[in-house]
Structure formats: structure tokens, C-alpha cells
Structure 1
Amino acid sequence: MVGDLPRRLVAEAIGTLLLVLFGAGSVVAALIMGKGELTYAALGFISLSFGLVVALVVYAFGTTSGAHINPAVTVALAAGGRFPWREVPFYIGAQLVGAFSGGLLIVGGFGRRAATEFGTGQTTLGPQVGYGQGILMEALGTFLLLITIMALAVDRRAPAGWAGFMIGLAVACEIFVIGPLTGGAINPARTFGPYLTTTLFGGDAPWKEYGVYVAGPIAGAVLAVLVYDLVARPAREVPEEAEQGTAGEIAGARASSDARAGDVPAARHPQDEHLGDRVGHVARRRRRHGHRR
């Protein structure tokens, strides 16, 4: 991971700010356009907005901070041994600051009623959705997100360039399904920012439900990392020297295996043949000089 800690924290804060501003902000916009009603069609546009901003943030800051922009992602990667525990509090702090800043910008753009009337795009449990059900659905949504992150951003065998796009699609996908039940937060920071902003401006934030948006995402994220390591990517199958985001080691292993099975010599690069000709030519000249002596 490139970048010193302060620069990485700034990247996390900016990334989470953008997530809340253009994700939760799309909820406020949909409620305003729908005169307080949120239809399933509007939820589709909200899903698209979340997916796009997540993808863009991953492409923008993935090589700087990893673009976690989610405390559940940070904790899960640390639990899987892929992120230092000593940096977890700093990352989460930056994410929460960014989320709150994003909430403030929503109010700055839409006015105070964004908080007092529309809750700054906050997530709440749907009608007749209990705490246990909410935790389960948030865990399942975050499980999908982390499986995608592990497969496309962490696994060194992943094809290059697809991580941001597919992670964004995973976020959009879970909102389509879980949105009507819990809002599909799958991110404690995404819920924290709008809650705090709404409270600050005199709105009603359901803080008693916040535990759902912490326990569910963290449980689902940690489980996903453990399952992926156990089922899809045992550490012993991936060479430590393999580069991130390349499929070369898979193709190379298959080519090597096929060559051994069929005793087919590996094709040489033209430069190798040219080098071999030069070496042979030098050897022949030396032999001729030796005979003359």
C-alpha cells in the first residue's frame, strides 16, 4: 500500500465524504422529488448512485489507502491479517470524520430541511423489521461486499482493472434487495454521518438502531474474509511474490502443467533465439582461434 499514514487517512476521509454526499445525498434528492415518498424505482437510482461513487472512490484512492471507506472493511481485513490492527482506530476515525463532513455538505446543499425532514438520507429499519432481522440482512449484504473485495481487490490472481467496477456493482446489488428492509447501509460510517448531522440540526435520528448497523456489517465482513480464505483462496496456493491484480500466475501454472503432461517444449521468445545464435557464434569463433594456436 502506497502512502504514509496521514496521507492515507486523508484519502479515507475524502472517500467516505464522497460516499455519504453522493450516496446518502441521492436519498435526500429522491425524497424531495417524490414529495417525501420513496418508491422502489427511486431506490434503483439510489443504488446506482451508491455503486458509481464507490467505484470512483476505489479507482481514485485504492492505490493510496486501499479505499476501505467503511469501518467493517477495515476491521475485517485486520482480522484476516491483511491490515495492521494498530492503524484500525485511525482509519475508522478518518472514515467517521469523512462521513460526518459528507452529511454537513448535504445540509449545505439541500438546506436545513435535508436533516429535519429527510434525515440527511439516514438508514432506518423498515416496518415490522426487528433488530435480529436487521442485523442478519446487514450481515448478508456486507458478506457480498467483502467477498467481492477479496476476489477482485485483495486476491493477487484477480484480473486487473475490475475491482472498482465490480465492488460498486456489489453495493448496488445489495441495496436493491436489502434497501427496503434496512436501507442497505452495510457500513457503520455511512449510517453514523447522517445520524450525527440530523441530530446536530434538530432532526430525529434513530440512534437506538445504530447497533444494527455496526454489529451486522462487522459480523458479515469478518465472516466473508474467513470464508474466502478457507474456500476460495488458501494462502499456500498464492506465491508471495505474485503481483496484485494479475492473472499471470494462473495461466503460467496451467501452461507449465500442460507442458509437463505432453512433453511439449515451451515456446521461446524471439529475443531468446537471437541471444542463443550470438552465444553459438562466439563459441565457434573461440574454437577456431584455439585450433589456430
Structure 2
Amino acid sequence: MNDPTASFTTLRHSAQEFFLTFLLLFGVATIVRWVIGPSAVSDALPGIQLKLLVVGVAVGLLVVALIMSPAGKRSGGHMNPAISFAMWRYGVFPGSAVAPYIVAQLAGSLLGVLAGRGVWGSVAGAPPVAHAALQPAPGWSATGLFLAETLSMGVIVLLVGLFLSIPRLGRFIPYLVGLLIALAIVLLGTSTGGSVNPARQFGPALAAGQYAFLWVYLLAPMLGALLAQPVRDLLLGHRQVVTHRLHGAHIHG
């Protein structure tokens, strides 16, 4: 029999994940609009690598702030279906909450991007911004992109799992996640796009009508999250992951 209290908690936390992912994608759309799109900021930054560095740092800081926000502390601050799935695989997140979290994150992604379009106007939907939708560099096949996104997300989930298993490292997790996201954007932005989050591409791709590699960006990170769990177990044995909350404040010795 379903526990009404648990169901209400899941619903409330899912709503918070919707809000957090909405803010994340609105922020991403805003950052891309001003750093990549036509603006004084973009004109002052010569070369795509410097632009990606600014985008990576800005998005990384945004991720840290959202994880550490009151809503992030309550829901866990996932904002990423692969993270929610991984926390279930790690045994610290209820399986019944995975689907509601993912639905909330994907809905927040789409509405956040649409809000960005509403605020910034048609320039947010036109190239080179294109709703902040990602695409791999020319020459990338779906297979190559799938392997790269799987490996990238697998490394992130593995490191998060390791930090969540060692209480003294718990307080560093928000900064670890922000750093890893920033590095993915800077190092992979001109090759795979550096998504490492199904919600990062879902809303932008739908808003831009860019569906060619969408299935890869949605499924590959989930496989990476699945594969990270046995690797973590191999490295740490029976040491348990302590919490699904990325802010780390609920980790006890």
C-alpha cells in the first residue's frame, strides 16, 4: 500500500527539481545568448575556446548555487535524470521517485528554455544561440557520440559516488559537480557539445527543432550512470553511498 506521506514528499521534491532545472536551463539559455550570441560580451571574447571557458565557468557557478539553494538542499539538487537514476542505483534514492524526478527535470528544461526565449526575444532562437541546443562537431557519428557521452557521464557519476561514500569529502560535492560540468563544457564543447545531462539537451533541442542526435544525448548519460555503480563498488567494496543529496550536508560519519 502506498504511503501518502512518502508520495507527498516525492511530489514536493519533484516540484523543487522542476524549479531548479527551470532555473538552470533559463540560466544556460541566458549565458549562451550573451556569450555566444551577438552582444558586447561576445565581441570582447575572441575565439570559441575563450567563449566556452566563460560559459563553462558561469554554468558551473550556477550549478553550485542551485545545489546549495534551499530547494536544492531539500530535493537533492540533481537537475539531471542521470544523477537521479544513479542515486537509485547507489541505493540511497527510492525507485518510485526516479520517474517523477525525471519528468519534472525534463519539463523544467523545456519551460526554462522557452522562458529564455520569452525574455530575450527572437535572438535566443536564431543561430548561433538556437535556444542553446547542442550538436556534435562535423564528422561525429551517433556511435562515437554515444560512447563519448556515456564515458563522460560515467566519470562524473563515479566521482560523485566516491565523494558521497567518504563523509569528509561530502562538503566538496557541490564544487566537484560544478567543476566537472565546467570542464565538460570547456573540453567537449567543440566536439561532442559537452551535454552530460539529458535535461541539458532536451528542452533546447525541442525548442530548436533539432532532433538528429537527441536520442543519444538522452540515453547515453543514463548508461554512463548505470555503469558507474559497479565501478564504484569495485573501487570501494562494501562502503555505502550515504545520501542522494549533492550538497553533502546530510552526510554523517
TM-score, normalised with respect to structure 2 = 0.84
Distance in 1 between the 2:192 and 2:170 partners? Answer: 33
2:50 aligned partner? 41
Identity within the alignment, %: 27
2:213 corresponding residue in structure 1: 209
Of 184-193 and 56-65, deviating more is 56-65
Q: Distance in 1 between matches of 2:153 and 2:241?
A: 28
2:113 and 2:203 in contact (8 A); partners too: yes
Output one character per residue of 1:8-61: Cα deviation in whole Å (capped at 9) or x when no partner.
0121011111221112432222222347x9711000011112211111111113
Identify if the C-alpha distance between structure 1 residues 24 and 146 changes in structure 2 by more than 3 Å, giving closer, same or farther. farther
Residue pair 2:80, 2:197 contacting (<8 A) in 1 also: yes
Whichever of the two has the greater Rg, that structure is 1
Query: Residue in 1 aligned with 2:17?
Result: 12
Equivalent residue for 1:219, pick from 223, 226, 239: 223
Q: Map 1:110-125 onto structure 2 (within 5 A).
A: 110-117=120-127, 118-125=129-136
Give the number of equivalent residue pairs. Answer: 234
Q: 1:194 to 1:38 in 2, by over 3 A?
A: farther
Q: Which residue of 2 aligns with 1:276?
A: none
In the TM superposition, what are the counterparts of 1:76-225 in structure 2 within 5 Å?
76-117=86-127, 118-152=129-163, 154-198=164-208, 205-225=209-229
Q: Is the 8 A contact 2:202 2:218 kept in 1?
A: no
Q: Structure 1: how far apart are the matches of 2:155 and 2:50?
A: 22
After superposition, the Cα gap between the structure-2 partners of 1:160 and 1:89, relative to the gap in structure 1 and judged at 3 Å, is closer
Query: Structure 1 residue aligned with 2:233, among 222, 229, 241?
Result: 229
The residue type equivalent to 2:64 in the other structure is A
Q: Give me the whole-angstrom Cα distance separating, in 1, the residues matched to 2:93 and 2:241.
A: 19
Deviates more, 1:40-49 or 1:79-88: 79-88
Aligned residue identity for 1:129: W
Q: What is residue 262 of structure 1 aligned with on the other side?
A: none
Task: Name the residue aligned to 1:267.
Answer: none
Offset at residue 130 of structure 1 (A) = 1.2
Structure 2 portions without partners, runs of 5+: 1-5, 243-248
Q: 1:159, CA displacement in angstroms?
A: 2.9
> Residues 18-37 of structure 1 correspond to what in structure 2 (within 5 A)?
18-32=23-37, 33=39, 34=42
Deviation at 1:190, TM superposition (A): 1.0
- 2:3 matched to which residue of 1? none
Amino acid at match of 1:45: V
Q: Using the TM superposition, give the Cα deviation of residue 197 of structure 1 relative to its aligned residue in structure 2, in angstroms.
A: 2.2
CA-to-aligned-CA distance 1:238-278 (integer Å, 9 cap, x gap):
598xx9435xx5xxxxxxxxxxxxxxxxxxxxxxxxxxxxx
8 Å CA contact retained: 1:22, 1:49: no
Shift of 1:151: 2.7
How many Å separate the matches in 2 of 1:28 and 1:103?
11
1:239/1:178 CA distance change after superposition, 3 Å: closer
CA RMSD across the alignment? 2.4
Q: Alpha-carbon deviation of 1:210?
A: 0.5
- Cα 1:238–1:99, aligned 2, differ >3 Å: closer, same or farther? closer
SS at match of 2:73: coil
Contact between 1:80 and 1:222, CA under 8 Å: does it hold in 2?
no
User: Structure 1 225/50 Cα, relative in aligned 2: closer, same or farther at 3 Å?
Assistant: farther
The answer to whether the 8 A contact 2:20-2:72 is kept is no
